[in-house]
Amino acid sequence: MLDPDEEQRSLDAINQLEKEYPYAASMLAYLVLELFLKLYLLQSRKKLTAEKVSFDTKVGRQGMDLSLGDAKNLDDEPFIRSFLANCTLGDLENVYRIPNDKRYSQDRNNLFHANLYLANQLGSGYESRDAQNREYLKTAKKHLVEASEIHFPEWTIIESQGELRFKD
């Protein structure tokens, strides 16, 4: 399962990318966020309560709808294949009962689908794009830190001196 010492490498990659490639670091931060939400479900699914997650939320493409309640008692491999592999970040937000005003997927989707670039940066100079990309990264890092505190507190991530790391 998730080993903070091993997964620190992912946070180190974000820290390294951020220096020269803040847009790429932002995308990686959202990938790590989604991965950790999934890993936490994988590891903790049998002991989670209805206060913490929605067991009724259906995930997956049409015709492949499966809820956490339906899948939680599956062995790891079938759980991954039939449930987690079909979960989008939006599905995870529903499973984790993340309120609409605290969701991560809209900002993530705007980055991944280049909507922010097209809407805000096309035709801008390097300095303007870099400043905007650093703001996107700031938001992505904030989302990763907040999600860790709320949804996978055993692996709380903090930002210390501008760098992401697991809390001791």
Question: 97-147: per-residue pLDDT in tens?
Answer: 999 999 998 888 877 776 656 666 566 777 877 888 898 899 999 999 999
- For residue 61, pLDDT beyond 90: no
Share of residues in the chain with pLDDT > 90 (%): 64
Mean pLDDT confidence for 83-98: 93
Share of residues in the chain with pLDDT > 70 (%): 90
Helices (H), the chain: 4-20, 22-44, 68-71, 76-82, 89-95, 105-112, 115-116, 126-151
Instruction: Give pLDDT, residue 64.
Output: 67
Q: What is the pTM of this model?
A: 0.88
- Output helix, strand, coil percentages for the chain, rounded to the nearest 5: 65, 5, 30
